Amino acid sequence: MTTWDPDRYLAFAGERGRPFVDLVARVDATGPRVVVDLGCGPGNLTSLLADRWPAAAVTGIDSSADMVRAATDSPAAERVVFHRADLRDWLRGAEPGSVDVLVSNATLQWVPDHLDLLPDLVRAVAPGGWLAFQVPGNHVAPSHTLLAELAAEPPYDAHTAGAARVSAHDAATYLRALQPLGCEVDAWETTYLHVLHGEDPVFTWVSGTGARPVLQGLPTDLRPRFEAEYKSRLRAAYPDDGHGVVFPFRRTFVVARVR
């Protein structure tokens, strides 16, 4: 079971938050009563939903006890209700048409076969409501391919074979999957060029998200060796020319209006 570190996740809060802002900006909802954030993390972005729709009942859902605890202890808890639940369990219990705006930011990529969940996600949204989600689309970037290559090498492979892996689709795949479900779909892709600073900043970024299951799967005697080699390969792939490390990050966005 992967555990998540809110502090590590928030190391690049501004960069991680920008796609959320860009996603929600395309949701043209006026006066929603119920807004839900699936995969709310530490709650810092969920609070933006309360800013956007102050009259709505806003709820954040996350499967991580550490993330929900951080969210509950944050100022966002004054305006947002946070619950710990698996996304799939929440969907099974959601009343049809009970949500006016359903948002999921950088979460669905952790759910295997999440295309199969799209009908349930749409079903939870009221007619005229909105489903909006964003997933990373950088699984072919060096940050991920170098991780997979190193994890497949001995002696690490014996411990990392079952680690959770992210999986996502392109914008067209999501658009075509949602259209038959009665949705008007706006789907697009964007590559952000983040300029990161500090010691091994790309490692700091991925160790808080995509690389975390692999790192946690390693025994304590192997992890430092793995991290040192991974950092070395990342430095070669993402050099610092004295002005920071340029970290391209492709993301896929979907905003669907439910008829």
Q: What is the pLDDT of residue 165?
A: 81
Tokens of 146: 């170098």
Contacts of 110 (CB under 8 A, 6+ apart): 164, 166
Q: What is the pLDDT of residue 163?
A: 86
Nearest to 45 by CA among 134, 142, 125: 134
Hunting for tokens 């009343």 — which residue is that?
A: 95
Domains of the chain: 6-258 (3.40.50.150)
Of 25-29, 39-43, 120-124, least confident by mean pLDDT is: 39-43
Q: What is the pLDDT of residue 5?
A: 53
Hunting for tokens 């996304």 — which residue is that?
A: 87
Hunting for tokens 């008007």 — which residue is that?
A: 184
What mean pLDDT, rounded, does the chain reach? 93
Q: What is the DSSP string of 37-50?
A: EET-TTSTTHHHHH
Secondary element (H or E) of residue 20 = helix 13-25
Contacts of 219 (CB under 8 A, 6+ apart): 159
Give residue 209's pLDDT band: very low, low, confident or very high (50, 70, 90): confident
| % of the chain residues with pLDDT over 90 | 85
Report, as an integer, the average pLDDT of 215-237: 97
Model pLDDT for residues 46-69, shown as the tens digit of each residue: 999 999 999 999 999 999 999 899
Cβ–Cβ under 8 Å, residues 255 and 132: yes
Report, as an integer, the average pLDDT of 67-95: 95
Alpha-carbon gap, residue 76 to 243, rounded angstroms: 34
Q: What is the pLDDT of residue 162?
A: 84
Q: What SS3 state is found at 147?
A: helix
Model pLDDT for residues 1-23, shown as the tens digit of each residue: 555 455 555 556 678 889 999 99
Q: What is the pLDDT of residue 69?
A: 94
